[in-house]
Amino acid sequence: MEDRLQILEVARKAIRTEMLALRDMEERLGDEFVAAVEAILASRGKCIVTGMGKSGLVGRKIAATLASTGTPSFFLHPGEAFHGDLGMISPDDIVVALSYSGETDEILKIVPFIHSNGNKLISMTGNPESALAKHSDVHLDVGVKEEACILHLAPTSSTTAQIAMGDALAVSLMQLRSFTSVDFARLHPGGSLGRRLLMTVGNVMRSHDLPVVAPDCPATEMIHAISKGGLGLIVVCDGDRIEGIVTDGDVRRAMEQRRADFFNIVAADIATPHPKTVSADEKLIDAEKTMTRNKVTSLLVTDAAGKLQGVIQIYDIKL
């Protein structure tokens, strides 16, 4: 028990230390941050992020976040840059360099090229008096009072501060670019959100071998149709006119309530009339909202005349 309490206390202290570091950074945020956002927004090129070690790992994350939220960006390793990859930086690009000490040799070596190439340099350090900070057009202070590491050595609070500052840049730029969920989806077509925002009901609905029965379909045939259909429901139709739906839950409840009389009923007796419908050209995200609003997991897909075209279920949307 004592070991467990000690583990939790160390963990909670680490989290508190990082929370306090972020709170301090929030209070320091000011004109330099605004200048950094405006510089990136005004850039006609890409945002090149660079850093070594842990700062480099954070830099990769920042570049990926920027790129996925409307700011073209990529990560450039400073060591590789010094050995030929500087050619990846065009004069219209803007560079964001991460170095907590502000004295990282690999970063400082490429600063002269950045200046001579005409690029603006934004630095993110924990020391405003460092060489990197002093040779930057804009400096973002991510200094922390202490690391969360029990030895106060391993980058912990400081890397959290860098990540938070990068996220703050990305979110601010999203706001200024009027970046929408649709824009996000276009950049994430393979993701769940992109799929729901870009694909339509017609893309995923089941339209073949639909479990359709007549209003006078007897109980035994209803059970067989539900099992064979594989959707957990049957659609009750009188010709092309939809009369309602019967779910497997409706059948179970009818069996419990009617007992021996259950096998004397027909589909029309237990069908839910006026089932919720959706058109094939609606986006998946709109179909999902309709399901959530009406507390259902399936929708019938109909054309303008109300004729059944298919069935879509929540499982089709949240693949």
| Residue 157 and residue 219 in one domain | no
CA atoms within 13 A on the CB side of 245: 24
| Residue 95 and residue 9 in one domain | yes
| Residue 86 and residue 206 in one domain | no
**Domain coverage including residue 40:** 2-179
pLDDT category of residue 319 using cuts at 50, 70 and 90? low
Asked if 217 and 269 count as a contact pair (C-beta separation under 8 A), the reply is no
Q: Alpha-carbon distance 269 to 289, whole Å? A: 29
Specify the CATH number for the domain of residue 62: 3.40.50.10490
Asked if 64 and 96 count as a contact pair (C-beta separation under 8 A), the reply is no
Specify the CATH number for the domain of residue 205: 3.10.580.10
Q: Average pLDDT, whole number, for the chain?
A: 94
pLDDT category of residue 181 using cuts at 50, 70 and 90? confident
| Residue 212 and residue 269 in one domain | yes
Q: Does 123 reside within a domain?
A: yes
Asked if 75 and 26 count as a contact pair (C-beta separation under 8 A), the reply is no
| Residue 171 and residue 26 in one domain | yes
Question: Which pLDDT value is given to residue 98?
Answer: 98
Q: Does 231 reside within a domain?
A: yes
Summarize pLDDT for 96-137 with one digit per residue, the tens. Answer: 999 999 999 999 999 999 999 999 999 999 999 999 999 999
Residue 185 has pLDDT above 80, yes or no: no
Question: Which pLDDT value is given to residue 191?
Answer: 67
Is 187 or 8 the better-scoring residue by pLDDT? 8
| Residue 121 and residue 215 in one domain | no
Q: Does 190 reside within a domain?
A: no
| Residue 250 and residue 112 in one domain | no
Summarize pLDDT for 278-289 with one digit per residue, the tens. Answer: 999 999 989 999
Say how many domains are in the chain.
2
Question: Which pLDDT value is given to residue 277?
Answer: 95
Summarize pLDDT for 59-109 with one digit per residue, the tens. Answer: 999 999 999 999 999 999 999 998 889 999 999 999 999 999 999 999 999
